[in-house]
C-alpha cells in the first residue's frame, strides 16, 4: 500500500532549506496543497502535470478553512492521488500538521510526516541570534503568541512562562508585541531584557528590529505577519554575529531574463551577495526545426579549418549532434576552434578540446579582430549558431576571403506562458534592477510587454546589460541603460552591480 499523503515541512522561506526527502516527495506528487508561508519557488520541484492548490491563510483571514483543507486532503487521497501537503516551517511546530494527521489517521489513509526546518530556529539564525549559548542561556522555549480562542483558557500562564527558559521564541507575534512586553515585565522579566522582532526570516525581504522590553514599543513600528519574537540575552549577539542581512546586495530584487538553466550560476552568485534573484527567462532555447544543415556539415567536419562558437548553446547542440554521427572526438583533429568568451571556452574544454583563439573583447567584433591573420583566403569556417543572430562575424570573415558556412544548431524564442508570468512579475514588488544578457532577451520582453512600452513598465527599475550590443538594443526599446560592465562576463557584471548599489543606485 503506497503512501497517499506526505505532510511536508517546506522550511521558513529560503527555498534551499527544504530537506532532500521533502523535495523527493514533491517530485512524486500528483497534487500539491500549499500554504501562504511556502516559498512558491518550491513548486518547481513538482511534476508539471501535478495539480497545485493554494490554501493559504494570511493576516488571520482564511483563504480556506481548516475543515475545508482536511476535506480536500481526504478527497484527493481517495481519488488515488499522491498528495504533497506543503506547509511552512515544520508541520508539527505550530503548523496544525498534527490536526491534519489525525484526520488522515481516522480515515485510514496512509500518510508520512516529513519534518522541516522550523522558522523558530531558522529565522533567529539568519538574524545572527543563536537561541542557546553557554554564556547567555542554555534553555529555550517556543510559544504561540496567538492561542486558540475556542479553548477555555486561551491565555498562556505568563508567570510560569516568564521563568520557563532563558530564551523565549514567540510564533505569530506581529499583533502580540505589546502583550508579550507587558506580560513578561509584569511577571518578573527585567525591562532591560533584549528582544528582537524578525519578519520574513531567511528571505531577502527579512526585517529585524532589536531593543529591550522597555524600549521596543518605541523603536519598532507596526510589523505585519509573519513576525517572530525572540526574548533573551542571546539577542545581544546579533551585533557581532549578523551575517545574512548585511551583505552588499541584501534586499535588492534583480530580474534575470536569460534562460533558467543558463542563469543558475549567475543567480546563485547574486543570492550569495544577498539579492533576491527573480528568474524570468524571456528566451527559451530549443532544437532546430531541422538538423539537415548541421548534419551535412558534420559529414565532412574534418575538412574545415575553423570551428567557431559564439555561445554556450552553440557548443551544447553542436556536440549533441556530433556524437550521433561520430563516436570519436578525433574526427576534429586538425580543426582549430575559436570561442567568443570565457563561458563558451569552458563549455568547449568540457569536451577535452583546446580553444585556439579567445578574444579580449567578448563580442563579434572582438572575435573578428582575434582571427585577423589566422583566418585567411580559401579557409573553410563552420559557424554553428542560432538561426537569428548578428551577421557581423560571417560577413567580416567572408571579406577576409574565408568560405563561411553558417548552420542552425539551435533556435530561440519566448517561453510558453511567458505572457501570464510577466503579468505576475509586474503585479509583485517591482525589481530594483533588470539584467539583459543578449539582444533577444530585450526584444522578447518588449514583445511580451506590448502594447505598453518597456520604459513605462520598468519605470524606477535600473537596467543592466552585459555588453554594448545588448545595451544598444535596450536603448532602441526606449530604455535608459544604467550599467554596462567593462568586461562582458557575468563576473564583471556582478562586480559592477555591487558598485552601482554601493553608490546608492
pLDDT of 388 above 70:
yes
- For the chain, how far is it from start to end, CA to CA, in angstroms? 58
Q: What 3-state class would DSSP assign to 98?
A: helix
| Active-site amino acid positions | 35, 57, 172
**Distance, CA of 213 to CA of 232 (rounded, Å):** 10
Q: Give the per-residue pLDDT at 150.
A: 60
pLDDT for the residue numbered 222: 82
Q: Write out pLDDT tens, residues 125-148.
A: 999 999 999 999 899 999 998 766
d(CA 46, CA 264): 19
pTM of the model: 0.78
Task: Please state, in angstroms and rounded to a whole number, the distance separating the CA atoms of residues 172 and 202.
Answer: 16
Q: Sheet of 433-436: strands edge to edge?
A: 276-279, 253-256, 433-436, 462-465
**Residue 32 · residue 7 · CB < 8 Å:** no
pLDDT in the model for residue 245: 95
Give yes or no for residue 153 having a pLDDT over 70. no
Predicted confidence (pLDDT) at residue 62 exceeds the cutoff of 60: no
C-alpha cell at 365: 567584433
Cis peptide before 226 (omega within 30 of 0): yes
pLDDT at residue 21, rounded to an integer: 98
Residue length of the chain? 505
The secondary structure of residue 51, as a DSSP letter, is E
DSSP code of 217? Answer: H
pLDDT at 58: 64
Residue 173 has pLDDT above 60, yes or no: yes
pLDDT surpasses 70 at 102: yes
pLDDT > 60? residue 61 = no
Q: Is the pLDDT of residue 428 over 90?
A: no
Contacts of 286 (CB under 8 A, 6+ apart): 410, 411, 412, 413
**Residues above pLDDT 70, as percent of the chain:** 97
Q: Helix or strand or coil: residue 75?
A: helix
The pLDDT of residue 215 is 97
pLDDT computed for residue 152 by the predictor = 59
pLDDT at 387: 81
Q: Look at 363 and 339; give whichever has higher pLDDT.
A: 339
The DSSP annotation for 341-389 comes to SHHHHHHHHTTT---SB--SS-SHHHHHHHHBTTB-TT-EEEEEEESS-
Q: Which residues on neighbouring strands pair with residue 170, listed in sequence order?
A: 143, 229
Q: What is the pLDDT of residues 228-272, one digit of tens each?
A: 999 999 999 999 999 999 999 999 999 999 887 778 889 999 999
The reported pLDDT for the residue numbered 505 is 73
Average pLDDT for the chain: 92
pLDDT of 155 above 80: no
Alpha-carbon distance 288 to 406, whole Å?
A: 13
Cell of 427: 503585479
CA angle 212, 239, 158 (to 5 degrees): 30
Model confidence band, residue 169 (pLDDT cutoffs 50, 70, 90): very high
- Alpha carbon distance 384, 266 (integer Å): 25
Between CA 129 and CA 202 the distance in angstroms is 12
Dist. CA 14–CA 438, nearest whole Å: 29
- CB count in 10 Å sphere of residue 350: 11
Whole-number pLDDT of residue 72: 97
207 strand-pairing partners: 199
Domains for the chain: give ranges and CATH numbers.
Answer: 5-117 (3.40.1010.10), 121-241 (3.30.950.10), 253-283+415-502 (3.40.50.10090), 287-412 (3.40.50.10090)
* 342 vs 344: CA distance, rounded Å: 5
What confidence tier does 426 reach under pLDDT thresholds 50, 70, 90?
confident
* pLDDT per residue as tens digits for the range 447-469: 889 899 999 999 999 999 999 98
Amino acid at each position: 500500500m503506497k503512501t497517499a499523503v506526505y505532510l511536508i515541512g517546506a522550511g521558513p522561506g529560503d527555498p534551499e532549506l527544504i530537506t532532500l526527502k521533502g523535495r523527493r516527495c514533491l517530485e512524486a506528487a500528483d497534487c500539491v496543497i500549499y500554504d501562504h508561508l511556502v516559498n512558491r519557488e518550491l513548486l518547481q520541484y513538482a511534476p508539471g502535470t501535478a495539480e497545485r492548490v493554494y490554501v493559504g491563510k494570511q493576516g488571520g483571514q482564511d483563504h480556506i478553512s481548516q475543515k475545508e483543507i482536511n476535506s480536500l486532503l481526504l478527497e484527493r487521497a481517495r481519488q488515488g492521488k499522491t498528495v504533497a501537503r506543503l506547509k511552512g516551517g515544520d508541520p508539527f511546530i505550530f503548523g496544525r500538521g498534527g490536526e491534519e494527521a489525525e484526520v488522515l489517521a481516522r480515515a485510514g489513509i496512509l500518510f508520512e510526516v516529513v519534518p522541516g526546518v522550523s522558522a523558530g530556529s531558522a529565522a533567529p539564525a539568519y538574524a545572527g541570534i543563536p537561541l542557546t549559548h553557554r554564556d547567555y542561556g542554555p534553555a529555550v522555549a517556543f510559544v504561540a503568541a496567538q492561542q486558540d480562542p475556542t479553548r477555555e483558557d486561551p491565555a498562556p500562564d505568563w508567570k510560569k512562562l516568564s521563568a520557563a527558559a532563558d530564551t523565549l521564541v514567540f510564533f505569530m507575534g506581529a499583533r502580540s508585541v505589546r502583550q508579550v512586553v507587558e506580560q513578561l515585565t509584569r511577571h518578573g522579566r527585567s525591562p532591560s531584557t533584549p528582544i528582537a522582532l524578525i519578519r520574513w526570516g531567511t528571505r531577502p525581504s527579512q526585517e529585524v528590529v532589536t531593543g529591550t522590553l522597555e524600549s521596543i514599543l518605541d523603536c519598532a513600528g507596526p510589523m505585519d505577519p509573519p513576525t517572530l519574537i525572540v526574548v533573551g540575552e542571546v539577542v545581544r549577539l546579533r551585533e557581532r554575529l549578523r551575517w545574512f542581512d548585511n551583505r552588499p546586495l541584501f534586499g535588492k530584487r534583480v530580474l534575470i531574463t536569460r534562460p533558467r538553466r543558463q542563469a543558475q550560476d549567475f543567480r546563485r552568485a547574486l543570492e550569495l551577495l544577498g539579492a533576491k534573484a527573480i528568474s524570468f527567462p524571456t528566451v527559451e532555447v530549443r532544437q532546430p526545426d531541422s538538423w539537415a544543415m548541421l548534419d551535412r556539415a558534420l559529414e565532412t567536419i574534418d575538412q574545415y579549418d575553423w570551428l567557431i562558437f559564439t555561445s554556450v548553446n552553440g557548443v551544447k547542440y553542436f556536440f549533441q549532434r556530433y556524437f550521433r554521427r561520430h563516436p570519436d572526438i578525433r574526427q576534429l583533429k586538425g580543426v582549430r576552434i575559436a570561442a567568443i568568451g570565457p563561458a563558451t571556452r569552458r563549455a568547449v574544454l568540457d569536451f577535452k578540446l583546446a580553444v585556439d583563439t579567445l578574444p579580449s573583447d567578448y563580442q563579434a567584433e572582438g572575435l573578428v579582430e582575434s582571427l585577423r591573420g589566422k583566418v585567411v583566403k580559401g579557409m573553410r569556417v563552420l559557424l554553428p549558431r542560432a538561426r537569428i543572430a548578428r551577421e557581423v562575424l560571417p560577413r567580416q570573415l567572408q571579406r577576409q576571403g574565408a568560405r563561411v558556412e553558417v548552420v542552425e544548431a539551435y533556435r530561440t524564442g519566448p517561453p510558453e506562458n511567458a505572457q501570464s508570468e510577466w503579468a505576475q512579475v509586474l503585479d509583485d514588488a517591482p525589481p530594483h534592477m533588470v539584467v539583459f544578457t543578449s539582444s533577444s532577451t530585450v526584444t522578447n520582453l518588449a514583445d511580451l510587454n506590448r502594447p505598453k512600452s518597456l520604459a513605462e513598465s520598468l519605470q524606477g527599475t535600473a537596467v543592466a546589460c552585459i555588453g554594448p550590443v545588448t545595451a544598444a538594443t535596450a536603448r532602441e526599446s526606449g530604455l535608459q541603460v544604467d550599467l554596462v560592465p567593462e568586461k562582458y562576463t557575468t563576473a564583471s557584471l556582478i562586480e559592477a552591480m555591487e558598485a552601482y548599489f554601493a553608490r546608492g543606485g
